Amino acid sequence: MSGGDLTPALVHHVVNSLGWRSLRPLQEAAVAPLISGADAILLAPTAGGKTEAAAFPLLSRMADERWSGTSVLYVCPLKALLNNLLPRLETYSSWLGRSAALWHGDTTAAARKRILAARPDILLTTPESLEAMLVSANVDHASFFSGVRTVVADEVHAFAGDDRGWHLLAVLERLQRSIGRPIQRIGLSATVGNPEALLAWLQGSGAGRRHGEVIAPHLSTESASAASSTEVSPGPAGGAAVPPGTVQLDHVGSLDNAATVIAALHRGEKRLVFCESRRYVEELGAKLRGKGVTTFLSHASLSLDERRRAEAAFAEARDCVIISTSTLELGIDVGDLDRVIQIDAPSSVASFLQRLGRSGRRQGSTRNCLFLALDEDGLLAAAGLLLTWSQGWVEPVVAPPEPRHIVAQQLLALCLQENRVGEHLWREWWNGLGPFGDSAEAIVRHLVEEGYLDRDGGMLYIGPEAERRFGQKHFMNLTAVFTAPPQFTVLQGRTEIGRTDPSLLTEWIDGPRRLLLGGRSWQVAYIDWRRKRAYVEPVDGGGKAKWNSVGFAPAGSHRLARAERSVLLGEDPPVTMTARAVDALRRAREEHLEHVHPKGTLILSDQGGHHRWWTWAGYRANATLAASLSAVAVPGQQVNDRWIRLREDVTASSWSNANREAQNRLRLPDIDERALRGLKFSESLPPALATATLAARLADTESAAAVVAEPVRFVRGER
């Protein structure tokens, strides 16, 4: 095999222990840049060997340069993914007499003591656990992290797309300052539309100052160039196009019918079904079990043991189904899959590519996905997504704008870490990272004024309000950047099944109270309101599943909404469609005949004088447009992807004036105060800044500007 820069002992084990005759293209291409210390983004389809592409050069460098102590941090967005990776990294490191260990929220106190006593060469962890170590009084972080040279961020797109990414970057900057040298940064991803921008983001304060490379040998030069501007070639993660017939679209009309189809098709095979809500996972699981199908479930509200049992049993079984939310979208290994099935459609092309990549890993098998649409909306969403995918487009990964609440959280965490920080020196800890510039001064002033921080002798330290809000359990709540909705733990005896929404335990019912959790029905026997626990016993049927989200969850993008419009205008996705799907799509086109136009948008009025502006612009663009055209838009309306309600007295003249004003200046969306509860640490910001942060994240000014510039037709007499 090649890989000549790898240390000989490692090459020996790759050939003799793994039985590999050669490295994969990505692994070969990554050796020289990573050994040289370059920052990098490694791109390959799911199961493309990215972990080895990062681990082998780093282990070689570790051996050749005689790194000591914990020198490599391997961070993942999911604890389950870390659990899955540990055995592989333990094996690879042992070849060179090195070690790997796991530290996250489920790691026992005894295991943590062993890690602190004998530092592993590779530490697998989450950003939250990494920060918890920095602020813990039980960890000498300056000593423990003194040997760190490199951080590997697996599924880096999952970090970059939300606040956990900003949190990770901020923690890495603090870590670099603690150890006094830059840390090499390596991101692994299977699906990304803008790799160069993602690399610059991952480099943080080092962007433009440190050498970095996008390593993606599976992309041609032309495709790699296009990927920088959000275009990639069709197929899994920009790879070869999927053979015709392996992606199918069906319209089944209901979850009951979906269960019937899944139970009848592909018997004897291992099937992974993705749903877009925990409630659908539970309801579909119960329906399949009722049909005698061996079924397992996985979602975030199931207990860790419940998920592990399901995933282990599924990995060992053959004729079975596992139903999941996005928890199994990332690279957790559940064995060889025969089929991937999608209920309705995921929210992005990138998510679809991740799910498609779960299949076709076995020699001789192909990647495949069957879409089962439950209604017309699900059918249009799936058809639009598949049309967009066939055009070779993947969403760019864009970090959420203006993370002021993360700045507040980091300032508090730094004071907890260092005990006292100079009131004019705190910026140095983030080395010029964007959000921590001059605008952060207003946040510091607010934290002091509200008692989150105290100031004395030019030093900042934790104040009484921070102690009151975050001080429980050694400030554990300060290291988590998400607000989790309140849930009750559900137990059968001492065995935890999972968690459920408290409204299921308080809403009025006639008869016994029954829950659906883990695909089984349970009758509530006793509720411990103080400890937020519900004790249950198994029962045959009648259970109900429900979870409420915190804040808002914006729906589809501008690009996907416009793809739905293209489908309604007659463009078919180039996939296999069943006769039911073809017929349902024909009916949808007839129903929406008056709602779409190829050369602009439409304002339709019905007989009652109600007006709808059919923009097909996507949720965020429509929210921006509704705020920007407040003179003609109905105030306080529930925004959707497709249309905006206009006032009954709108005229062509008033519309023209409002449209002209919007073209000159777009407004950010109005924010419901209830939505701020989903922005953790928002209470530690000045109210105006908290609202502005959320408004900026809800807006899509670029798409809104394009829509207001399009021709508009007024049509009377909407059916």
CATH number for the domain that contains residue 284:
3.40.50.300
Distance CA 234, CA 24 (A): 21
Cβ-contact 368, 359 below 8 angstroms: yes
User: Which residue, 328, 357, 390, sits at the end of a domain?
Assistant: 390
Q: Is 117 found in the same domain as 160?
A: yes
* Nearest CA-CA partner of 97 in 75, 123, 120: 120
| Co-location of 311 and 175 in the same domain | no
In the three-class reduction of DSSP (H, G, I as helix; E, B as strand; rest coil), residue 538 is classed as: strand
Radius of gyration of the chain (CA): 26
Task: Report how far residue 187's alpha carbon sits from residue 246's, in angstroms, rounded to the nearest whole number.
Answer: 30
Tell me, yes or no, whether 140 and 223 share the same domain: yes
Concatenated DSSP letters for 71-125?
-EEEE-S-HHHHHHHHHHHHHHHHTTT--EEEESTT--HHHHHHHHHS--SEEEE
From CA 296, how far away is CA 287, in angstroms rounded?
12
- How far apart (Å, rounded) are the C-alpha atoms in residues 293 and 321? 7
Q: Is residue 562 part of a domain?
A: no
Q: How high is the pLDDT of residue 507?
A: 86
Claim to verify: residue 233 and residue 252 sit in the same structural domain? no
Cα atoms in the Cβ-side hemisphere of radius 13 Å centred on 262: 39
Instruction: Specify the pLDDT at position 43.
Output: 94
Q: Residue 197: its pLDDT value, please?
A: 95
The contacts of residue 164 (CB under 8 Å, 6+ apart) are: 77, 127, 158, 481, 482
**Do 587 and 696 contact (CB within 8 A), yes or no?**
no
Same domain, 324 and 385: yes
Length of the chain: 719
Nearest residue to 288 (alpha-carbon basis) of 263, 320, 322, 255: 263
Residue 45 in domain: yes
Helix and strand element counts for the chain (H, E)? 27, 26
Q: What is the pLDDT of residue 245?
A: 54
State how far the Cα of 319 lies from the Cα of 50, in Å rounded to an integer: 30
Quote the tokens at residue 307. 């998920």
Contact 463, 421 (CB under 8 A): no
Judge if 251 and 220 occupy the same domain.
no
Q: State CA 558 to chain mean position distance.
A: 19
Regarding whether 77 and 199 lie in a shared domain, the answer is: yes
Residue 271 sits in the same domain as residue 231: no
- CA dist., res. 26 & res. 451, Å (int): 51
Other C-beta atoms closer than 10 Å to the C-beta of 666 total 20
> 153 - beta bridge partners?
75, 187
Written as six digits, the tokens of 631 are 């003179």
Give CA–CA dist 223/241, Å, rounded.
Answer: 13
Q: What pLDDT score was predicted for residue 228?
A: 34
Domain termination residue (choose one: 522, 538, 554): 538
Please indicate, yes or no, if residue 671 is contained in any of the structural domains.
yes
Note whether residue 268 is domain-resident.
yes
User: Which residues, at least 6 apart from 269, have a Cβ–Cβ distance to it below 8 Å?
Assistant: 318, 319, 338, 339
User: Distance between CA 612 and CA 602 in Å, rounded?
Assistant: 8
User: From CA 471, how far away is CA 493, in angstroms rounded?
Assistant: 31
Calpha distance 582→588 (Å, rounded): 10
One domain, residues 155 and 288: no
What is the pLDDT at residue 331? 63
**Domain co-membership, 271 together with 203:** no
Looking at 182, 212, 237, the residue that finishes a domain is: 237
Alpha-carbon gap, residue 644 to 592, rounded angstroms: 16
10-residue mean pLDDT profile of the chain (719 residues): values are 82 94 94 96 86 97 96 92 92 97 91 95 96 92 95 94 93 96 94 90 93 83 35 38 74 97 91 95 96 92 84 82 88 77 95 87 80 97 97 91 93 94 93 87 94 94 91 75 77 93 88 93 93 94 84 71 97 96 98 94 84 96 95 92 93 91 92 74 88 92 96 74
Residue partners of 146: CB distance under 8 A and separation at least 6: 69, 179
Domain assignment present for residue 65? The answer is yes
Tell whether 205 and 292 lie within a shared domain: no
Q: What is the pLDDT of residue 238?
A: 40
On whether residue 101 sits in a domain, the answer given is yes
646, 709: one domain: yes
Alpha-carbon gap, residue 72 to 114, rounded angstroms = 18
Q: Examine residue 515 and state whether it is found in any structural domain, yes or no.
A: yes
Total domains in the fold of the chain: 4
Range of the domain at 306: 242-390
Residue 462 lies in a domain: no
